[in-house]
Amino acid sequence: AKFTRVDQDTCIACGACGGVAPDIFDYDDEGFSFSILDDNQGITPVEGELEDDLMDALDGCPTESIKIQDKPFAHIEEEKA
């Protein structure tokens, strides 16, 4: 399984990722993408067919804002600590 979250600091709200992976990504009020799986925390595994969608979204993101790793992302509070 993969884990994913969007780096909203670099996302340019282009709308590509939600088009290819609508079950993973949606947009906030300003159009910036986030993972709907776990409110962009990156702690819910992306499995099965969704993994293919995720890789398509990764390939299609022009700013490399879609982050993917094999382990859950740490909570932001922990990253800052």
Looking at beta carbons only, is 32 or 43 nearer to ligand SF4? Answer: 32
Please list every residue from 37 through 66 that binds ligand SF4, using CB under 6 A: 60-63, 65-66
Give least dist CB 76 to ligand SF4, A.
Answer: 17
| Rg of the chain taking only CA atoms, in angstroms | 12
C-beta contacts of 30-37 below 8 A and 24+ residues apart: 32/6, 32/8, 33/6, 33/8, 33/65, 33/66, 34/5, 34/6, 34/8, 35/4, 35/5, 35/6, 37/4
Contact with ligand SF4 (CB under 6 A) among 2, 13, 36, 68: 13
Count of residues near ligand SF4 by CB under 6 A: 15
Contact with ligand SF4 (CB under 6 A) among 5, 17, 40, 73: 17
